[in-house]
């Protein structure tokens, strides 16, 4: 069985280790856990791993966040993976820092990456892991906050959640969305 793990972020050094790039951070942690490397491919950096009989194709779109749907659509079609076997990993301002929320479907929550995917696929019926980045910013400074780097205090909260997110992704492929939601959504 094949699964597409779409970890959203923006390419380029100026975006590395920013709040908006938590998807890329999780993708790198998944790759590190399996001792695999990403290779530049069409519309994304791509890595592939096996986990207990499951094949996970992990992508980091190179289309920038606002056009993530283009890469997601391409890889779903190329790998012939059904939408319910795709997991999108994305940051979320509405959740407290470090909160993990796995859902089987949902709206875009104002997130440009999810907006692009929903519009491109013409569906919101796909699993997504939303990772809380908090919303500790003054009015009018949301862009600076989202594109800002993690503070040392935030990193202390976030680092254990990265490992937990890697375990969650593997559980999604092994045990499915329902069992994984039941186990991880309250951690």
Contact present, 144 and 118 (Cβ < 8 Å): no
Report residue 109 as tokens: 């929550």
Q: Is 51 a catalytic residue?
A: no
Helix axis angle for 177-184 and 152-175, nearest 10°, is 150
Contact present, 132 and 161 (Cβ < 8 Å): no
Report residue 43 as tokens: 């519309």
Of 20, 51, 73, 111, which one is the catalytic site residue? Answer: 20
Q: How far apart are CA 52 and CA 164, in angstroms?
A: 18
Q: How far apart are CA 143 and CA 133, in angstroms?
A: 13
Report residue 175 as tokens: 């045990």
The count of residues in the chain is: 187
Residues carrying an active site annotation: 20
């Amino acid at each position: 069985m094949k699964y597409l793990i779409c970890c959203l972020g923006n390419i380029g050094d100026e975006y590395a280790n920013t709040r908006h790039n938590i998807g890329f951070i999780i993708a790198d942690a998944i790759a590190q856990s399996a001792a695999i490397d990403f290779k530049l491919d069409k519309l994304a950096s791509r890595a592939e791993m096996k986990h207990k009989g499951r094949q996970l194709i992990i992508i980091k779109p190179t289309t920038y966040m606002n056009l993530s749907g283009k890469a997601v659509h391409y890889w779903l079609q190329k790998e012939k993976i059904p939408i319910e076997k795709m997991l999108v990993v994305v940051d979320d301002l509405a959740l407290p820092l470090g909160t993990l929320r796995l859902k089987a479907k949902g709206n875009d929550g104002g997130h440009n990456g999810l907006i692009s995917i929903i519009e491109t696929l013409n569906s919101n019926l796909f699993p997504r892991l939303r990772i809380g980045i908090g919303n500790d910013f003054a009015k009018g400074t949301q862009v600076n906050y989202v594109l800002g780097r993690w503070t040392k205090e935030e990193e202390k909260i976030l680092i254990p959640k990265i490992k937990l997110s890697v375990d969650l992704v593997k559980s999604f492929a092994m045990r499915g969305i329902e069992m994984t939601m039941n186990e991880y959504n309250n951690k």
